[in-house]
Structure 1
C-alpha cells in the first residue's frame, strides 16, 4: 500500500512537471498563427467611427501543431485614431473570449485581447503593420517588462461562402499578464497622479530610449487624454500591493507605435508644439530623473544591437525595400549612441 501511494505521488509530480500538464501560453511561441474571423464586418466597419458596440463572431485558429479550433468570440472595434481618424478602411479589433470555453486551449487564461489589424489594403500599408509588430519584439529583447505579441495571418470573412481577405496582424498580451509574469501589479492612475520621481530611473530611461530609437513622440508617462486611463500610450507596473500614492520604482510599459518614424505611417504627423518637421526626426523626451542611468540604458540597447538587426533582416514578412529602410533608420540611432558628444547634446541635455 505504501509502495502504491509512493508511485501515485511520483506520477502526480511527473504530470505536473510535464509540458502536457503546463498551461498553454499564447505568447511563448513566435510562430505565426493562421486565423479566420467570421463576423458581420460591413456593419462593424460602418459603425466603427462612432461606436464600439460588440458583435458576435467566430474565430478559427491553428498554430500549425494540430487541427484548427473554433471559438465563439465577441468582437469590437477599438482604438481612436485608426478607428475614427478617417484614414483607415478597417479598424483595430478587440476579442473577448469565454474563459471557460478556452480552458486548456491555446487561449487558456485569456479573456480580452487586442488584435492589430490592417489599416488599408495596399501592400506597403501591410508592411507598416509588420514594422509596428517588430517594435514590440525589439523591446522584448531589451526587457521582459514589455508587451509580448503573436503574429498571425488573419482571414476576415462575412460568412462560409466568403473567401475572405487575408492580411498580417498580431495579438497583444494583456497588461495584467505582463504584470503577473514579472511578479508585479498593474497600477491604474489618472493624469498627473504619478510623478517622475516615482519611476524606477533605469526602467523609465529604458522606455524613453525605446521611444527615441523608433522616433516616437506620441506618448507620455505622466498625462493622458481627458476621460482616458492615464497615461498616453503607456501602462505601469509596480510592486505588489502598490497604489498611485505609495508606488515607488514604477516601470512604464509603452505601446502603440504607429506614429513613430520607425513605422512611418502616411497619416502620422509630429505634434505641432514640438516643432519637429517629420516623425522620422528623433527628439528625446525622457525625464531627467533617468539622467544618471543613461550610460547603463545605452549599454542595454547596444548589447542587443546585433539581435535587433538580425530580427529585422531575418523577418520573412518584411520585404527588401522596407528591410533596408528600417535597418538604416536603426543604424542612425546607434550612430548617436556611439558618439558621446551626440549623446550629451541629443539625449542628456534634452531631458524634461
Structure 2
C-alpha cells in the first residue's frame, strides 16, 4: 500500500486534475441555487406553537414566506414544519430546523421557480456564537462545492421570523437553504435512489466518489455520517443521500454528504463524537473512509490538493465569519493539508485507520 501511495499519487495526478472538468454537470442548477447572493425573506407563521411542539411533532402549519429586497415584496403561501432529529428532539436547540413546502403555489417568474420542498438550516439558539455556527456549516457545504459538483448547493438567506401567535418577538437570523436531492441528482445526470438503509452495499459504491466522501469528512472533522446505513427501516442513509444512473442501478452508486453541524470545523457547543470511537472531541480528526476503496485514496488526495486554493478561498471570502472563527477554520484546514501532503502521515493516519 505504501508503494501504491508513493507511485499512485503521481500516476493519478493528471486524472485527479481532470476529474472536476470531466464531471461537470450537464444541467444547470435551478434559479434559486444558481447564485450565492444572500436573500432577505420574512416568514410569518404561528411560530410560538410550532417551536413549542417541535420536539414531539413535525406537523406542518400554514404560513407565508415574503421575499423582500429589490422591487415589490413577493408573498408565497407555504406549509412550514419542524424537521431533523437531534437539533429538534435532543434538547440542545431552542429553535428547530425547518422545512418549507410551496405546495401548489405558483412560482413562475420568481427565484423559487421549480422548487417544491426545501430544507432551511436555522440558528440553534440566540446569540452570535450560534449564528457563527450556522455560517460555518454553510461554509462547509461550499468547501465540498469547491471539490466537486456532485454536492449539495446552498443559498444564504437572512430570515425575519414573525410569530402570528404574538408570543415571540420578531427576530432576524442568518440561515441557508439546501438544494433538493432530486435537483442535485438531475444536475449531475443521475437520480436520487429511493431505498432503505442497507439496500445498497459498500461494494456497490463508486470507489472514487467514496474516497472523496471519506476524505472530505476527514477534512472537516465529521464522524456523524454513513454512506450505506441509517436507522433501521428508514430511508438511506445517515446524513448522506445516494444517487445513481437509474433507480435500478447498483453499480457506481454515489453517496453525497450533508448535515455538518457535528463536525470539528463547525465545533458546535453540543457536538460530541459518536460513542465507541477513539476521539475525545469533534476537533480531533479520525479517518472513517472505507478500506475497500483505499486504492482510490491517492486520486482523492491529489484532487483535494489541486483544489486547495478554492477550498481556502471559501473560508477567506466568507464575510459573515468573524475573524476569530475565520482564523480557527483556516488553521484547521491547513492542518488537514499538512497531513495529506506527507505520505508517512497519510499511511499512518488515513490508510491504516480506514473503516473495514
Same fold? TM cut 0.5: yes
In the TM superposition, what is the alpha-carbon distance from 1:299 to its structure 2 partner? 1.1
Cα distance in 1 for partners of 2:315, 2:78 equals 33
**In structure 2, what is the equivalent of residue 299 of structure 1?**
302
1:46 to 36, 49, 52: 52
In the TM superposition, what is the alpha-carbon distance from 1:191 to its structure 2 partner? 2.3
**In structure 2, what is the equivalent of residue 18 of structure 1?**
none
Q: Are 1:318 and 2:318 an aligned pair? A: no
**In structure 2, what is the equivalent of residue 341 of structure 1?**
344
Cα distance in 2 for partners of 1:261, 1:89 equals 22
Cα distance in 1 for partners of 2:67, 2:154 equals 16
1:27 to 22, 29, 33: 33
1:131 to 133, 136, 147: 136
* 1:39-188 paired onto structure 2 within 5 Å: 39-62=45-68, 64-159=69-164, 164-188=170-194
Q: Once the two structures are superposed, what CA deviation does each residue of 1:82-126 show, in whole Å capped at 9, x if it has no partner?
A: 001111010000000034511221111111000001111110111
* 1:249-288 paired onto structure 2 within 5 Å: 249-288=252-291
For the Cα contact (< 8 Å) 1:39–1:158, is it kept in 2? yes
Aligned length: 327
**In structure 2, what is the equivalent of residue 213 of structure 1?**
219
Gaps of at least 5 residues in structure 2 are 1-27
- For the pair shown, the structure with the greater C-alpha radius of gyration is 1
2:208 to 199, 202, 206: 202
SS at match of 2:33: coil
Cα distance in 1 for partners of 2:227, 2:183 equals 20
In the TM superposition, what is the alpha-carbon distance from 1:163 to its structure 2 partner? 6.7
For the Cα contact (< 8 Å) 1:200–1:250, is it kept in 2? yes
What RMSD, in angstroms, separates the aligned Cα atoms of the two structures?
A: 1.7
Q: Once the two structures are superposed, what CA deviation does each residue of 1:144-175 show, in whole Å capped at 9, x if it has no partner?
A: 11100000111101149987200100000000
For the Cα contact (< 8 Å) 1:187–1:242, is it kept in 2? yes
For the Cα contact (< 8 Å) 1:99–1:108, is it kept in 2? no
For the Cα contact (< 8 Å) 1:99–1:109, is it kept in 2? no
SS at match of 1:344: helix
Cα distance in 2 for partners of 1:303, 1:26 equals 28
Cα distance in 1 for partners of 2:236, 2:335 equals 32
Q: Does the C-alpha gap of structure 1 residues 142 and 188 become closer, same or farther in structure 2, counting only changes over 3 Å? A: same
**In structure 2, what is the equivalent of residue 9 of structure 1?**
none
SS at match of 2:330: helix
Gaps of at least 5 residues in structure 1 are 1-21
* TM-score, normalised with respect to structure 1: 0.89
* TM-score, normalised with respect to structure 2: 0.88
In the TM superposition, what is the alpha-carbon distance from 1:46 to its structure 2 partner? 0.5
